[in-house]
Structure 1
Amino acid sequence: MRLAIRKDSVRRRVAVAVSHLAGIGVQTTDTPQERATKTALTLAALLLGTFAGAWTLVYFWYGPTFGWVTSLVYQMSLLFALVHFARTKSFAVFRLTSLSLHLVTPIIVQVALGGFHPSSGVALWSLVAPLGAVIAYGSRESVKWFAAYLTLVGVSAAAGVGEIASGAHVPAVAVAVFFVANIGGVSAVVFLLVRFFVRERERAIRILAEQHERLADEQRRSERLLLNILPAPVAERLKQGDGIIAARLPDVSVLFADIVGFTELSERWPPEKVVVMLNSLFSAFDELADSGGLERIKTIGDAYMVAGGLHPGQPDHLAAIAEMGFAMQREAHRQSASAGFALELRIGFSVGPVVAGVIGRRKFAYDMWGDTVNTASRMESTGIAGSIQVSGAVFDRLKANFRFERRDRVSVRGKGQITTYILLGERDAAAAKEVP
């Protein structure tokens, strides 16, 4: 158990060290794609530099001086390129330097050792250069590197007739072993690079998907906020970038409600208590509006404005407004106990055509105008505390299903003295049938 834990600990430390070394050229401003590309090329340089150490030792042992010197120069050059990359973060210089070294050095060593067979096919390592170019430069530019690789392989084959380096005699066993090592090493490096790059790409795709999901969440949150301000059809037009959003709606019911005695109450209560009470009451009103298919238009101080008939296919919006008026009274009565104050509402509504639209650019608001809106406001302001006052237009349309009390000679600003009606409640089914 302890041995397994120790192995896991060592493996993690090695992975952290390799990850740190491979990321020496990465900058915080890099995109995931740039980070993966830089890390892959750095990892390739580290791997090939490590394998080059084995070349240097074997070639030094068996005597081909040019071979081990070339291998050592390759290692030192890679080390210099890595240090320069870590300090300057100049990826353009590093990719050109490292890929050129990967391309040329194995070819030189193969020629020095007398060709493909005596060198155990060491030129295969040059394949790392065009593969790295695919990652570092892209598919189009990498074609040039692959063409250079094929050209150099052809040149090395032509030049490798006989042993060019004097005294470069490598035993047959060593040649066979190095064939396996070179082919296996190249295969391992290619596999590791491709695996690493694919893993980084998958990681980048995963991060991108997470970012898209967060963006989608933000978009959904923004849409919810938008729908809290605007009716759904209007919000959709706003998202589509319509310039001026305005419409003449032929049949809309508009209700106003305010709290009786609120001004005196707000002067006596602490500000926090006033806001908590209004928030609780108006939030409950919002839920009532949603359940009735109605739209809260705005609040002004203690006044609450709601409308129906903004959505197509809502013929019963006037009855829904009437039912909401009664529900608002019940809710105010219910919250009176917790508020420590007898919350009483004065409610008024009317029905008819309105002009509606969105006003403002940054702090936009949906509002409506017209005689219907003015009449509804007057029904509230001239109403009776604890009652619902409506216009004659409402009475004419709801008298079959609701009970009313007539009020004559009510003075309404802009209209003079008119007849209004106090909405008392719904008729029972039998009484509704008797109404002409």
Structure 2
Amino acid sequence: MFAQSPLIKPDDEEMGLQRRLLILSTLMMTGAAVFWSALYGYFGEIGAAAIPGTYVILSLASLLTLKLRHGFTLLRSSQLACSLLLPFFLMWELGGFVNSSAVVVWSFTSPIGALMFAGRRQAALWFIGFILLVSIGSTIEYPAVTIDNLLPAGVVVVLFVMNLSGVSIVAFVMMSYFVKQKNTALDLLSLERRRSEQLIENMLPASISERLKNEQRPIADQLDNVTIIFADIVGFTGYAMDHDPDEIVLLLDRIFSDFDRLSAEQGLEKIKTIGDAYMVCSGLQGTAETNARGAAHFALAAMADLTKIVKEERLDLNLRIGIHTGTVVAGVIGEQKYSYDIWGDAVNIAARLQQTALPGKILISRDTVDLISDHFETVPQGTTTLKGHTPVDTFVLAGSKA
């Protein structure tokens, strides 16, 4: 019969929702209290009519102070106290359980509400208070049950139905709201989990993301026959010096987004970008030959793509690419921002090949040529000295035989 209030301390959005719910429930119960007060007054039970009337006055006064600094706390506290005590006083005034049509059951809304919104510890105190009031009220009925008020017997029966139904409705509404909030929270949690998983899957190879989701750490593997590709945009530093930041980022995003698409088409795994350099590899799955061919197709497509962009935008840019196949160590590093990376001499050779390649050329090692020679045209470059490394036999990837 009397409203109870949420007792949680959520963030600003949640607090706003709780305030609106408290105001709505207070207004609804105030309307019900006006009806009860008028009903008791009509049958001459002035004392009983005064109790819900008091609730109306207290609730309206609390609502008026809601905008004050501690107005929400006042409204919340007054509603909890009223929901617990006033039904008991009303039962006492009407002469016990039977005479009051078990109106004290409305007091149960207080511990129910506290359990939902305040937590088990605070709810236990409100529940103990409810049990004490019911125990005290039972003495009114002892030693015999008698009808001793001005309400007709038929009205007493109707009020029994109204009280029991009313408190059930309030409990149901409260629980429905609780379930709705719980489901909303679970949906948001599920959405955030899916977003996190998608982010991990975008950042990491599928097999690695699964191991990471299963909390397998550390993640480190030695992989053979991995083909590593380094691509560097020649002239981009000069372009960046003469253009606005927005133009620089938009161009780089366009180029690398195309590279992402091309690498995905060939089943390659993007490792990272370093400034205007793009690093990708193949060989995490499939055969060595298939992966090497995929890397070669990507390199040719990336070169053609940049050539197209340069022509459309009239830019003085070019691309040079280095490719090598060998053994690497792969793993995930970091805790806050996961990074999947590969290390080893094969990575160093691919990087040095890219640095040695002429603009517009794709320089590859013999290890890679041996895997793709049946499908691609290559031009021997002889033994090439690489910075910080022993000389290696190199070739320029000219195109696909198909």
Q: What TM-score comes out, normalization by structure 2 length?
A: 0.77
Deviations 1:325-382 (A, max 9, x none): 1111111122123321254321111111101223334344322111111111122122
The structural deviation recorded for 1:259 is 1.8
State whether residues 228 and 350 of structure 2, in contact with CA within 8 Å, keep that contact through their aligned partners in structure 1.
yes
Distance change >3 Å, CA 248–CA 184, structure 1 → 2: same
Following TM superposition, by how much is the alpha carbon of 1:101 offset from its aligned partner in structure 2, in angstroms? 3.9
Deviations 1:32-59 (A, max 9, x none): 9988799768866763564244334433
How many angstroms apart in 2 are the aligned matches of 1:317 and 1:156?
A: 92
1:339 aligns with 2:319: no
Question: Once the two structures are aligned, what percentage of the paired residues are identical?
Answer: 25
Asked if 1:151 corresponds to 2:135, the answer is no
Alpha-carbon distance in structure 2 between the residues aligned to 1:44 and 1:299: 62
Aligned residues: 379
**What amino acid maps onto 1:259 in structure 2?**
I
Per the alignment, residue 365 of structure 2 pairs with 391
Q: Which has the larger radius of gyration?
A: 1
Change (3 A) 1:45 1:346: closer
**Pairwise mapping of residues 216-255 of structure 1 onto structure 2 (< 5 A)?**
216-255=190-229
1:103 paired residue number: 88
Quote the offset at 1:308 in angstroms: 0.9
Q: Give the CA deviation at 1:254.
A: 0.3
Q: Deviations over 1:274-316 (max 9, x none)?
A: 3222111111001111122111111122211101122477872
Query: TM-score w.r.t. structure 1 length?
Result: 0.72
Shift of 1:263: 3.1
Unaligned regions of 5+ residues in structure 2, if any?
64-70, 116-122
**Equivalent residue in structure 2 for 1:423, among 388, 397, 401:** 397
Structure 2 residue 187 is matched with structure 1 residue 210: no
The Cα of 1:408 is off from its aligned counterpart by: 1.1
Tell me the amino acid that sits aligned with residue 370 of structure 1.
Answer: G
CA contact (8 A) 2:105 2:167 kept: no
Residue 135 of structure 1 corresponds to 112
Computed over aligned residues only, the root mean square deviation of the Cα atoms, in angstroms, reads 3.9
One-letter code of the match for 1:197? Answer: A
User: Partner of 2:67 in structure 1?
Assistant: none
Gap change, CA 1:76 and 1:207, over 3 Å in 2: closer
Of 281-290 and 102-111, deviating more is 102-111
**CA–CA separation in structure 2 for the residues paired with 1:209 and 1:137:** 19
User: Could you give the per-residue CA deviations for residues 203-226 of structure 1, whole angstroms, max 9, x where no partner exists?
Assistant: 332333233333333333333333
The runs of 5 or more residues in structure 1 that have no matched partner are 1-17, 60-66, 429-436
Contact residue 102 and residue 125 of structure 1 kept, 8 A: no
Is the Cα–Cα contact under 8 Å of residues 53 and 71 in structure 1 kept in the other structure?
Answer: no
In 2, the alpha carbon distance for the partners of 1:92 and 1:82 equals: 11
- The structure whose RCO (Cα within 8 Å, separation 6+) is larger is 2
User: Quick one: distance in 1 between partners of 2:389 and 2:113?
Assistant: 80
Matched, 1:309 2:309: no
Cα shift at 1:395: 1.5
Q: Which of the residues 348, 359, 375 maps onto 1:401?
A: 375
Partner of 1:299: 273
- Please, which moves more after superposition, 398-407 or 240-249? 240-249
Give the C-alpha shift of residue 200 in structure 1.
3.5
